[in-house]
Amino acid sequence: MAHSSFHKFIFGFCTSLLIITTLSHGEIGLPSEEHVSLFIFGDSIFDAGNNNYINTSLRANFRPYGESFFKHPTGRFSDGRLISDFIAEYANLPFIPPYLQPGNHQFTYGANFASAGAGALVETSQGLVIDLHSQLSYFERVRESLTKNLGEEEANTLISRAVYLFSVGGNDYSYIFGTNSSILRTQSHREFVGTVLGNITAAINEIYKKGGRKFGFLSLGPIGCHPALLVFQQPAGKIGTCREKLTEMAQIHNKAISEALHALEIKLEGFRYSYFDFYTSMSERLNNPTKYGISNICGSSSFLFQTKLSCFIC
């Protein structure tokens, strides 16, 4: 079944996170007395509803979003749970709410800063999203709140034991192609990837300086086959055709960030990470949906929407 296959795919990533973080202090699935918090950064793959609270059209606050699990739209770009929700469940944590959601959050379980459409670059969909730099600013506010509420020693312990999840970068590449940006006339693809990667590694280093040590990353998916690109941003006669140059940039990015993470592990004392090959996993499912029990892609959006597949254009 599709959902069983999806759970196995998530379980593999979660298990690797459990290994590097000792979330369960022994057996996977058992609650721990000292939980490990999750701090979540990125785009629509992880956005649990932050965009509902900013002035943007990039929202998932209408059906069919949320219909298969929550039974109503929550702001998640899925009809069910997100990858980060499954990770929280496997770690015996509650779903991590969006940072901007009103309420008195203590943040002892973590916070979700992700914003649909956001990139590593401030310029990506500027004014419509919470870019990575702004997400880091929110994290600093949370850190200050934890210090105030828990005391410096306990807050530092929480920060150092926490897991920092990232899914970011794809929108930076989709944006420059979708807006016919002139940036690739002055930079090669590899140079632009280097700029995006530089912002991501800067964010990692910033969190590391604050005490963060344990990180989880998704590689970019096959973004050149994003349905919005296939249908709405293609020249006449090209509708339904993947944009190979965009997918190539994702592949360059994935190779570069894998190498960068390995270098950081060598350079930064105590730095540990889990890296999931989202590209290969989702390409396999997109190319062979029936193999995984998916006969109606639109009807299986809880499984496939995490690759930014939208029912509305099927």
Average pLDDT estimate for 44-69: 94
* pLDDT above 70: percentage of residues in the chain: 78
166 sits in which H/E element? strand 163-167
Minimum mean pLDDT among 13-17, 90-94, 158-162, 247-251: which range?
A: 13-17
Q: Per this entry, what is the length of the chain?
A: 314
pLDDT at 207: 98
Q: Is residue 160 pLDDT above 90, yes or no?
A: yes
157 vs 307, residue with greater confidence: 157
Q: How big, in percent rounded to 5, are the helix, strand and coil portions of the chain?
A: 50, 10, 45
Q: Is residue 105 pLDDT above 90, yes or no?
A: no
Beta carbons of 302 and 78 less than 8 angstroms apart: yes
Enter the DSSP assignment of 187: S
pLDDT at 182: 83
Residue 215's DSSP bridge partners are 164, 273
Q: Which amino acid is at 103?
A: G
Q: Is residue 224 pLDDT above 70, yes or no?
A: yes
The helix-helix angle for 244-267 and 278-287 (nearest 10°) equals 150
pLDDT band of residue 235 (cuts 50, 70, 90) is low
Average pLDDT estimate for 168-192: 89
Q: Is residue 16 pLDDT above 80, yes or no?
A: no
pLDDT band of residue 55 (cuts 50, 70, 90) is very high
Measure Cα distances from 312 to 118, 154, 238 in Å. 21, 47, 19
Q: Read off the pTM.
A: 0.85
255 vs 22, residue with greater confidence: 255
CATH number at residue 77: 3.40.50
CA triplet 125, 126, 128: central angle to 5 degrees? Answer: 70
Q: What SS3 string covers 31-73?
A: CCCCCCCEEEEECCCCCCCHHHHCCCCCCCCCCCCCCCCCCCC
What is the Cα Rg of the chain in Å?
A: 19
Q: Is residue 34 pLDDT above 90, yes or no?
A: no
| Phi, psi for residue 275 in degrees, rounded to 5 | -125, 120
* pLDDT above 90: percentage of residues in the chain: 61
pLDDT at 19: 47
CA triplet 55, 300, 110: central angle to 5 degrees? Answer: 50
Task: Kindly state the tokens that stand for 56.
Answer: 């943007």
DSSP string, 80-121: S--HHHHHHHHTT-PPPPBTTSSS----TTEEE---TT--SS
pLDDT band of residue 237 (cuts 50, 70, 90) is low
Average pLDDT estimate for 115-143: 97
308 vs 83, residue with greater confidence: 83
Enter the DSSP assignment of 29: T
Beta carbons of 92 and 29 less than 8 angstroms apart: yes
pLDDT at 31: 39
Longest Cα–Cα distance of the chain, Å, equals 62
Minimum mean pLDDT among 100-104, 142-146, 148-152: which range?
A: 100-104
Domain count along the chain: 1
Q: Is residue 148 pLDDT above 90, yes or no?
A: yes
Average pLDDT estimate for 303-313: 35
Q: Is residue 2 pLDDT above 60, yes or no?
A: no
pLDDT at 234: 53
Q: Which domain holds residue 158?
A: 2-313
Which of 189, 187, 200 is closest to 224 using CA atoms?
189
Q: Is residue 210 pLDDT above 80, yes or no?
A: yes
- Distance CA(91)–CA(114), nearest Å, equals 19
Instruction: Work out the mean pLDDT of the chain and round it to a whole number.
Output: 83
Minimum mean pLDDT among 12-21, 203-212, 288-297: which range?
A: 12-21
Average pLDDT estimate for 199-214: 98
